[in-house]
Amino acid sequence: MARLPKLAVFDLDYTLWPFWVDTHVDPPFHKSSDGTVRDRRGQDVRLYPEVPEVLKRLQSLGVPGAAASRTSEIEGANQLLELFDLIRYFVHREIYPGSKVTHFERLQQKTGIPFSQMIFFDDERRNIVDVSKLGVTCIHIQNGMNLQTLSQGLETFAKAQTGLRSSLEESPFEA
């Protein structure tokens, strides 16, 4: 079986949901009796449709998840993760303004998982560029997270691991 990452990390805005939590919606959020999540103005707030299935699939594969977001709306982002019942899929959350590199350095410190064993899904090219320099397999999201993107990402990760393994085997140096 293909090698799986030891940690799958997700951006939030335009990766799990189709908006910026700090500008496009108006916290605080609440869940209506019909289960719909709404903002303070009563506007419906939704995830991309396949996000719950993506996170369930990773959980069934034994791959823990984490969130890494640069939003300044920390409380609102955490509230949405709870209201959408996604908290259970994330073993760690790094949600605060700043560099995604900082988010990943903290994730690595907290988990002990090497960057090369992480996969990261994000919609912003600058984050993909920055985090890939750490050795993380990065997947650029175009239209929200979905099952096809997950499958392609896991395939990209497995191929990267095969390449990493063969280059280590070819190395004349002993570890």
Task: State the catalytic residues.
Answer: 11, 13
- Which residue, chain included where needed, has tokens 């990402």? 153
The dihedrals phi and psi of 34, each to the nearest 5 degrees, come to -85, 5
Spatial CB neighbours of 167, under 8 Å, sequence gap ≥ 6: none
CA distance 36 to 57: 23
For 95-133, letters b (16+ CB in 10 Å) and e give: beeeebeebbeebbeebebebebbbbbbbbeebbebbee
